[in-house]
Amino acid sequence: GQQLNQSPQSMFIQEGEDVSMNCTSSSIFNTWLWYKQDPGEGPVLLIALYKAGELTSNGRLTAQFGITRKDSFLNISASIPSDVGIYFCAGRGGNEKLTFGTGTRLTIIP
């Protein structure tokens, strides 16, 4: 099945640093979603974006829906230990199905 290109694949940062990750697609999406997945659990929704150009924040998280509708980025400011996990972008088209990105694994170095 199709997957979105998500980068970076992994990140090793120190606590307090800012994080940036992005997703690109060859297809246009109507909705972009960002999820976080902890080991052995299902993805948890972080931010949902519904309009091209939309910039939305959720606490220390900020995400944007690209103008071309083919990309999105997620920023995390002032990272903390509980930010560790795998972050997935997901795009939703007209058929309501979600296409997931390849994931970004975030590790915080003590």
Partner 1 sequence: GAVVSQHPSWVICKSGTSVKIECRSLDFQATTMFWYRQFPKQSLMLMATSNEGSKATYEQGVEKDKFLINHASLTLSTLTVTSAHPEDSSFYICSARVLTGHSNQPQHFGDGTRLSIL
The footprint of partner 1 (CB under 8 A) covers 1, 3, 31, 33, 35, 40-45, 48, 50, 88, 96-103
Is the previous residue joined to 8 through a cis bond, with omega within 30 degrees of 0?
Answer: yes
Cβ 99 to partner 1, closest distance in Å? 8
Nearest to partner 1 of 40, 81 (CB atom):
40
Cα(84)–Cα(38) distance, integer angstroms: 8
The residue among 22, 14, 18 whose CA lies nearest residue 81 is 14
Cβ 87 to partner 1, closest distance in Å? 11
- Residues 6 or more apart in contact with residue 27 via CB below 8 angstroms: 2, 70, 91, 93, 99
Nearest to partner 1 of 17, 43 (CB atom):
43
Nearest to partner 1 of 41, 110 (CB atom):
41
Cβ 43 to partner 1, closest distance in Å? 5
Q: Which two tokens stand for residue 20?
A: 């940036």
